[in-house]
Amino acid sequence: MQAAWMALGLVSVFGIAFLATALARAYALRRRLLDQPGERRSHAVATARGGGIAIVVSQLLAYLGIGMAVPQAAPTLAVFSAGLVLVAGIGWWDDHRPLPAWPRLGVHVLAGALLGALVWYWTGDALKAGFIALLTVALINIWNFMDGIDGLAATQALLAALAYALWLSPPFALPALLLAAGVLGFLPFNFPRARIFMGDVGSGALGYLLAGLVALGIAEGRVAWALWLMPLTAFCIDAGGTLLSRMLNGERWMEAHTQHLYQLHVKRGLSHITLTCNYAVFSIVGITLACAFARLSPAWGTGAAVAWSTMGLGLWWVSRSSVR
């Protein structure tokens, strides 16, 4: 019976996200919320934005249902949902009326602090809490930076969520499955041809939600810390490497640009479908390796994560050098 209720919940989240994405697209077209092609864009036609609100709504409704069914989980879900609302809210505002970077960053830091406080409450470990607070801010912005071509940010979030569902114990695996279901509801509108982009409301929310899953995993303590980052390696390397390169070159690194690896390949004529699938293959290989090492001691897991990240950084450097 419990499995049947879980299946019904996941199907409902998928359906809510699918329907809400369609409504978000109609709203965006009516309000003329469109991303126009340009030098700092990787698409060729004007496309509606803000579809990620559907993922946010699907998750919030799911948390509300869980909180009503399991009252002892309600306070934790309320705090986590507050952080999600903050991140999605500032993103929704920015989608309608662009904001300076610093107010957005301030909200991201506040959301990260809320999630860090939850980890501190769960574990009593200040180091884990601080790590999650910083990771939250990083992932919110990384997903925003990397949401530039059809399906890329959504498929990477989907793969990471499925990986976390495998590693978390049954009660804590549910949020990962809910996120996967919500992303699947949005994905048909975004890949293989985007009819709507998720916008800042969606990309930032995905980063926050993934940070929440990492927080659950680190608090549970079944798998080495570093392994939780392996499903995120592709985005962390491309976003982090590009940011560091721009800073070392004295560029205005907080401004929009098209210097990420995937953007450079688009300029060279590679299709969005090919690039999204290439990133997916890289992540699937990393997740497969992480699953194998998750069964071993934390030292082996950490070593595997470091080796995988080092190899990924080398591939990124070689590929970026070849297309610049």
pLDDT in tens, 195-224: 999 999 999 999 999 999 999 999 988 888
The answer to whether 265 touches 323, Cβ cutoff 8 Å, is yes
Q: Sort residue 199 into left (φ over 0), alpha (ψ -120 to 50) or beta.
A: left
The stretch 279-289 carries a mean pLDDT of 97
Residue 215 has, within 13 A of its CA and on its CB side, a CA count of 33
Mean pLDDT for the chain?
Answer: 92
Helices (H), 187-271: 199-220, 233-248, 261-267
Residue 229's pLDDT is 95
Question: Does pLDDT of 55 surpass 60?
Answer: yes
40 pLDDT higher than 60: no
Q: Name the strand (E) or helix (H) holding 48.
A: strand 47-48
Q: Assess whether pLDDT exceeds 90 at residue 142.
A: yes
Residue 4 has pLDDT above 90, yes or no: no
| Amino acid 253: pLDDT | 66
For residue range 87-104, list pLDDT tens digits in order. Answer: 999 999 999 998 988 899
Average pLDDT over residues 52-60: 98
Q: Is 108 exposed, middle or buried (0-12, 13-18, 19+ CB in 10 A)?
A: buried
Confidence of residue 267 (pLDDT cuts 50, 70, 90): confident
User: pTM of the predicted model, to two decimals?
Assistant: 0.95
The radius of gyration computed from the CA coordinates of the chain, to the nearest angstrom, equals: 19
**Number of Cβ within a 10 Å radius of residue 322:** 10
Res 39: pLDDT: 58
- Cβ neighbour number for residue 269 with a 10 Å cutoff: 6
